[in-house]
Every structure is written in C-alpha cells, then in structure tokens.
Amino acid sequence: MNSKKFLIVWTVVCALAASLPTQAAAAPASEAEASVQAVGFADPLIPQLFAFDKESQIFVGINSVENAVDLIAYDGATMTFRERFIADRVAGRHDVVNIYRPQSVAVYDGHIVILATQRDSCYLAVLNLQGEEVERFYFAGNAFAFSYDPEARELYIAGENGLGYDVTVLDAAAGLESLVFHPDLNFHYLKPKKAEEMQKNDPHGVALMLIAISVVFFGLVLLYVAFKSLGKGIMAFNHWRAVKAEQKATGGDKAAIKASIPKGEDLSGDVYAAIAAAIYMYQSELHDEENTILTIEKVSRTYSPWSSKLYGMNPYFQIKNGK
C-alpha cells in the first residue's frame, strides 16, 4: 500500500472513530470543537479526491480518466455538470513523466484550489466557483497534499519524492488569487549519498586511506598464503607420484622407498641450481652449431608507378613548376 492510500484509509478510520459514542462525547461542544481544531483535524494534510462547498453547493472531484477536475452544481434537487478544468494535455504525448496530474482538490474562501504534480515539479491552480482559472503557481518539488489555515492565511503543501520529501508554505495574506512564495519556507529533503556521508564523517580522508592500504596489504597476504599452500601441495603430489613409480618399478617396501626419496622442501638451493644448469646445458646441446654468415643480395625490380609519390601531388604545384 503506498503512502497516498495509507493516508486516505487512516483518515477514514479516524473519522469513523470520532463518530462513535465515547465518554468524551459528554464534554461541551465548544471544547470538543477546540480540541479537534487544535490537532488540525479540521483540514488534515492529506490528498482529497473530492470536495464539497456547502455555501455554493458545488462538488469538486478529480477525474483521473480525463486528467481533469470536474465541477458539479447541486441545487438540492438535481445535480448539473458545470465546468471541467484540464490539468494537462495527455493525448499524443509520450513523455509520461512530464505530464501534470491532479493530486488533491479543496474549496477555500470561495475559491477552488487544485494541486497537480509531475516527476519533479508541481503547480497550484486557483479557480473561481464558475470554474475559471484565476491563478497558477509553479514550484519545485513533489507534492500530493495541501492544507489551508484561514487564520494564518497560509497554504501548506507536502509530499514525497524518490529519496525524501518536500514541504512548502505559501503566503496567502493577499488572498488565494495572489499567492507568494518565500524561498526560506521551502524544505527539500534528500537522503544523503554514501560519498557525502563519508565526506562528512571523514573530511580529510584519513580513514579512507587507511582502509585502502589495509585492503591492499590484506590481499597481498592472502596471495602469499595461497601460492605457498599451492606450492606445498604440488611438491607433495610429485613426491607421491615418485614413490608410486619407484614402488611399481622395483616392488620394494613403500615405507623404505618413501624415506629414500627426498621431499621438495628437503632439497637445498644448490640442488635446484644444479638441476637448472643441467636442463640449460641439455637444451643447448640439442642445437647444432651454425655459421653466422649473412648474405646480402641486391634484387633488381622493374619500375612500377603504383608506389610513386609523384602521382599523389596536387596538379597545381606541377603547373607552377612549369611541368
């Protein structure tokens, strides 16, 4: 369940809980109304898909099919479609993430307020009760809900983005048709990146340097241990093969043969040097002595213009030289 659905369900649950008879119902109506207004439940900061103005008898609802907001007039007996406000054009567009879509509607002080948002920006449209647009205010961020305080004459807007949330306050002291944006009243939170957290915790990079050096040396130690163990394993395998071959050839006692054949780690460096010298001398004797005589013979070739650089020159220079 996403945040919008959760907030809507939570509001419905709170409304049902408030309607149930409790012990608090015995309190005076003025005190109960004051307590409700104190917690801001009179106009919660949640998205509203529909709104109704009692004085003008107008229903306002989001039409997600047409990407619009519809106005419906109610006279007590019948309901009549009055006007449709298109949030953004959808037909023929492929940039789906850049399409503004209505998120919340409300009616304040004889004005219809509509919040529409796209990927990284929003706008607040103010309409009169006839459905005519009076003001449209664009601002950065991502929002899906707003609330209005008639006493403070301020409009509160909030919503989530991909890595955090946005909170914006608009000044409506001159009326909803003349909203004023103050940069200091806009909070845009983004989850800090790993590099930013590292820079904050280790501004001089000492810890990062120590970690890098430790990783390199630890890798070298692992390579040393791996090659050391591999060498011992190969020597043990060769010793086992030598013992097995000697036993098969002579048919002697395996323990005596194993003791008579030295292991690889028992041999000194002189033995390895002698073995290497013997292999080198053996390979040298395999080749016959050759006379290192070089014979250079000049080969005459017929003239061919294919490689002549003369034909690659610009004709201008040939004419200039009188050719």
Domain shared by 70 and 38, yes or no: no
Query: What confidence score (pLDDT) does residue 150 get?
Result: 86
- Token reading at 13: 């649950």
- The answer as to whether 145 is a domain residue is yes
Domain shared by 91 and 185, yes or no: yes
Q: Which domain holds residue 82?
A: 46-191
Domain shared by 7 and 128, yes or no: no
Nearest to 55 by CA among 73, 40, 80: 73
Q: Which CATH number is 126's domain given?
A: 2.130.10.10
- The answer as to whether 320 is a domain residue is no
Domain shared by 237 and 187, yes or no: no
pLDDT by residue (tens digit) across 131-181? Answer: 899 989 888 778 889 999 888 888 899 888 777 888 888 888 888 888 888
Query: What confidence score (pLDDT) does residue 33 get?
Result: 36
Domain shared by 180 and 51, yes or no: yes
Domain shared by 4 and 138, yes or no: no
Collapsing DSSP to helix, strand or coil, 205 comes out as: coil
Q: Which residues of the chain, if any, have pLDDT below 70?
A: 1-43, 263-267, 287-291, 310-311, 313-323
- Token reading at 300: 């005459």
Query: What confidence score (pLDDT) does residue 245 get?
Result: 82
Domain shared by 154 and 176, yes or no: yes
**How is 300-314 classified by DSSP, letter by letter?**
-----GGG-SGGGS-
pLDDT by residue (tens digit) across 54-76? Answer: 888 899 999 999 999 999 999 88
Give the chain's domain count: 3
Domain shared by 132 and 172, yes or no: yes
Nearest to 49 by CA among 93, 96, 114, 109: 114
Query: What confidence score (pLDDT) does residue 34 get?
Result: 34
pTM: 0.52
Domain shared by 219 and 181, yes or no: no
